[in-house]
Amino acid sequence: MSHEIEDHRLLNHSDNEPFANVLAKRVSRRDVMRGGLGMAAASMLSMGGAGAALAATASDKKPLTLAFEAVMGAHQDAVIVPEGYIAQVLVPWGTPLNESTQWNPAHAMSAEQQAVSVGMHHDGMAGFALEESSASQRFVLALNNEYIDQSALWAPQGGPTHAKEGKRPAEESRTEINAHGVTLVEVRKEGDGRWSHVPGSSYNRRLTSATVMAMAGPVAGSDYVKTRFSPEGTQTRGTNNNCGNGVTPWGTYIACEENWPNIFVNTGERFADDARIGIPTERSRYGWETSAGDSSEVDGEFARFDITPRGASALEDYRNEARTFGYQVEVDPYTHQPAVKRTALGRFRHEGCWLGKLEPGKPVTYYSGHDARNEYVYKFVSDAAWDPADANRPGEQYDRLAIGAKYLDHGTLYAARFDADGSGEWLPLTPDATTLDGRKLHAALGLPADDLAGIIVNTCDAADLMGATPMDRPEWATVDPASGEVYLTLTNNSQRTEAESDATYTNDGDGITQSGVGYATAPTNAANPRPDNGAGHIVRWKEAGNGTAFQWEVFIFGGSASDGNNPSGLTEINQFASPDGLWFDERDNGEGILWIQTDNGYDSIAEYTNDQLLAVVPSALKAGNGGSDAVVKRHNQHHIKRFAVGPNGCEVTGIFATPDKTALFINIQHPGNWPADGQALTQDATLEASGSVRPRAATVVIQKKDGGPVAV
């Protein structure tokens, strides 16, 4: 999630014990804060019991080795990669998807042009092979366009019109709407080893904040989502602020709606879920609703962003429009079928959709985090068992979304509770589940006994009532497909304060308080032990056999080599903060590389380097001593290395590699003065501009000069 659209309000006023208190109980804050890792690691990860289940057994097999020299931190308008590597810009914002549109950095972008060009601020992405034989040379690239930079979008005219107050011009609002969403574009590797997109490919298309999409799952067709546009509650328009992503084994892409609440406004009577999810009450982020009434407006295209009740019923206004957002959006990259919002996976600010370990005859599992302070981690488990006959078949045309309906429209949604002993429990968000105070969940929410749609619409309140553990901004996750271990970034919480590990919390109606300290400042807990946790950390867990229990531990703490708040002993070659993007890169030998991306806001790291990409081999840390080696700490932190550094002002995000591992794709979001050539669509990503350029987010392809596998 970009700093520019973070929502710092605390929207969770439950009295659930936050993860920091859980972690503080798991390992004393004093031990963690010492900076010497021995005692902290021993107390956390020499776990016996729960911890032992996560510790790998010793092996005679030599672990995978990172065979590159770590790059040093940098502040440049360029991408920095290791010696022996090249980095290339691919499909930056504004790249035409057809053969008739042209990119010109001196011209303003029109709504029509933006609808057929790559959107703004690339984030999560994935590649979808067109043929098995050429999977590493030609595929459909699906990527999220999370949000807009109005200063770059409207640079030729000196900025947006009436950005903060007044009526927005309809053409500007329409262009901004079209710059959000998802881009699908065919890319290929040329004979010289460089990559290009294919203008006019039948696979190229845009999904924007205006594209008609289907609703599916428990919420579809319910009274909660009936609107003037869709009286049956089966359709909506657009997907917005898509951050992390997911892929399905049947060959579809999942775009995850994260900071979507701020595109709406409600100035009147509010639903409870409006307040809990954070709908603004005065003006939306971009003021699109102010363009309503323009003579060019079609079918309430701008009016729908004002969800204030105005008619006699929901069929006469857009009071329910926001309830058609906050979902996982399934897209078939091989066809032009309408995208589908899979409501069974919950409604909140989804950071991603991460596929769990896939096994024939067992349910399909997806994990997602709600990226905000003191929000929760969720898991969806399908009713249907995985059938390998449903696996993707590149090159064939068939109804992949029908397969998606089989696995994603029916199942159980859970929220996670992390306990101080290293165990955890998945709490079902079902109407008949029992809440902390002994009521049925449907009754606690004031819903009928069979109202699963109501539970989903009110996912956050449901998780509050069930006693889920509030976390430090849960962002990306990734799964080791061999072991099933799940890694999750907890990006940061710079407003966290110190608290006693045995403190009690009460809700006084204005938020949770403890010893006079407002819960808005998020006191520490066992899983988040550091007050003023600006550096963040990564946890991991492994599911127990029954599907509702798990064991967890801290994998690594972010921190600076120059301060004492560095329990993982990081040095200049690997210091980082605010872990965000995360991807497990499985290699042929059954091992893999865990890639960590950052969206840093930690001063001592920001003074040293721009945002970055790091690599670590988890198996190298586990071998030999079981649980005590399962965390990055002073004696083994040399196994984590900085692989790349992004340009000034950027966030490094979105990641995957070709099947042969010879090309690693990352996204550079909101750079300040990059790429170097403002006109070129493909160019060297490591060059700095000679002057000021109109900045463009872009995908970057990193390859070895000798053409071999990346990183090893």
Q: Is 549 left (phi over 0), alpha (psi -120 to 50) or beta?
A: beta
Q: Are 75 and 610 in contact (CB under 8 A)?
A: yes
* Model pLDDT, residue 547: 87
Please tell me whether the peptide bond between 675 and the residue prior to it is cis, using omega within 30 degrees of 0: yes
Please name the amino acid found at residue 467: G
CA atoms of 280 and 262, how far apart (whole Å): 6
Q: Are 127 and 141 in contact (CB under 8 A)?
A: yes
* Model pLDDT, residue 9: 67
* Model pLDDT, residue 5: 63
User: CA-based angle 606:612:615, to the nearest 5?
Assistant: 135
Which single residue is written with the structure tokens 């931190």?
73
Output b/e per residue, 55-74; b: 16+ Cβ within 10 A.
Answer: bbeeeeeebbebebebbebb
- Greatest CA separation for the chain: 73
Q: Are 681 and 91 in contact (CB under 8 A)?
A: yes
pLDDT in tens, 325-336: 999 999 999 999
Calculate the alpha carbon distances from 187 to 85, 98, 130, 330 in Å.
21, 13, 10, 21
Residue 531, Cα to own-chain centre: how many angstroms? 24
Please report which helix (H) or strand (E) contains residue 402, including its range.
helix 400-408
Q: Are 627 and 52 in contact (CB under 8 A)?
A: yes
Whole-number CA gyration radius for the chain: 24
* Model pLDDT, residue 373: 79
CA atoms of 219 and 456, how far apart (whole Å): 7
DSSP states of 546-574? TSSEEEEEEEEE-B-TTSS--TT---TTT
Residues in the chain: 712
Q: Are 105 and 693 in contact (CB under 8 A)?
A: yes
Residue 470: which of 2, 144, 10, 126 has the closest Cα? 10
* Model pLDDT, residue 524: 65
Q: Strand 212-216 vs strand 340-342: parallel, antiparallel, or unpaired?
A: parallel
Q: Are 524 and 496 in contact (CB under 8 A)?
A: yes
Q: CB neighbours (10 Å) of residue 438?
A: 7
* Model pLDDT, residue 529: 60
* Model pLDDT, residue 567: 81
In 3-state terms, what secondary structure has residue 357? coil
Q: Are 363 and 341 in contact (CB under 8 A)?
A: no
* Model pLDDT, residue 306: 98
Which single residue is written with the structure tokens 């932190």?
637
* Model pLDDT, residue 284: 97
DSSP states of 620-672? HHHTTTGGGGSS--TTTGGGEEEEEEPPTT-EEEEEEE-TTSSEEEEEEES-S
* Model pLDDT, residue 534: 76
Alpha carbon distance, N-terminus to C-terminus of the chain? 29
In 3-state terms, what secondary structure has residue 4? helix
Residue 498: which of 2, 125, 30, 16 has the closest Cα? 30
* Model pLDDT, residue 624: 36
Q: CB neighbours (10 Å) of residue 677?
A: 15
* Model pLDDT, residue 531: 62
**Average pLDDT across the chain, whole number:** 88
CA atoms of 26 and 469, how far apart (whole Å): 14
Residue 521: which of 10, 7, 30 has the closest Cα? 10
Which single residue is written with the structure tokens 């032992």?
52
Report residues of the chain scoring pLDDT below 50. 29-30, 32-53, 55-59, 500-519, 623-630
